[in-house]
Amino acid sequence: MIVNLVAPRVWGCDPDILIDHYRDHVTSNHADIGVGTGFFLDRCGLPSATPRLALIDLQPNCLEHTARRLSRYRPSTYLRDVLSRVDEIPGGPFDSVALPGIIHCLAGDLTFKSRVFDNIAPLTRPGTKLFGYTLVYDGVRQSASRRLVHPLLNRLRVIDNANDHLGDLRHALSTRYIDCNIQLVGCMALFSAVVPTAASIRR
Ligand SMILES: C[S@@+](CC[C@H](N)C(=O)[O-])C[C@H]1O[C@@H](n2cnc3c(N)ncnc32)[C@H](O)[C@@H]1O
């Protein structure tokens, strides 16, 4: 319901755009953080039938549901809070790491939430692709339904994005990564970036 009704009508972002965003960036050595129901990961189609796929979430029920849904890929599941350092995941770093629809759930402003980018460092190496999407407040004023629904969802603590702004997301990415891209679709910010090598940081 959220994906097919709320996403296009309230957020102004068609689910197919998010599926395409996955397809553009997901690899066959992938960690997904904040899996929810696994809808987008299921629909995007991984580049290999036998990927290394790690599902990471705070909630056991989300991990169980998504692992069942994606059982064809034989995923591993890890109960972790991304507000703390995400370590002790066996098998070494990943080629892609996604933070899809999780940042707008975290409490605080984007400057505070940006610690998640540091906390996921153990999952990455130079060249790892980071991508995801998050609801920012910048696009909220554009539509009457968004002006109603966003404050309500914030009050109900379903999301916490009243202080999440595109400029802060851009700053959080560009101070840590290279090849940073952000596209605002409705009020959904689709982002991607690459973990730099030491040499590219010095440049
Ligand atoms: C809105 S759902 C996003 C689901 C899915 N990725 C999508 O794109 O529709 C947010 C997910 O993030 C998880 N989550 C929220 N806070 C978290 C935290 N601090 N650490 C890890 N996972 C968290 C929730 O349990 C939930 O599965």
pLDDT for 65-110, tens place per residue?
999 999 999 999 999 999 999 999 999 999 999 999 999 999 999 9
Is pLDDT of 189 > 90? yes
**What digits encode the pLDDT tens for the residues 111-133?**
899 999 999 999 999 999 999 99
How far is residue 76's CA from residue 61's CA, in Å, rounded to a whole number?
14
132 C-beta closer than 6 A to ligand 1? no
34 C-beta closer than 6 A to ligand 1? yes
Locate all alpha helices (DSSP H) within the chain, ordered by sequence: 15-25, 39-44, 60-69, 110-113, 115-119, 144-155, 166-174, 198-202
Ligand 1 atom showing the smallest separation from residue 82 Cα: 20
How far is residue 38's CA from residue 133's CA, in Å, rounded to a whole number?
14
Best residue among 1, 26, 32, 57 to mutate for probing ligand 1's pocket (most ligand atoms within 8 Å of CB) is: 57
Report the number of distinct structural domains present in the chain: 1
6 C-beta closer than 6 A to ligand 1? no
Residue bearing tokens 């809070």: 81
Residue-range definition of the domain harbouring residue 82:
2-202
CATH code for the domain in which residue 184 is found: 3.40.50.150
On the 0-12 / 13-18 / 19+ scale of CB atoms within 10 A, 43 is middle
Is pLDDT of 1 > 70? no
Structure confidence at residue 11 (pLDDT): 81
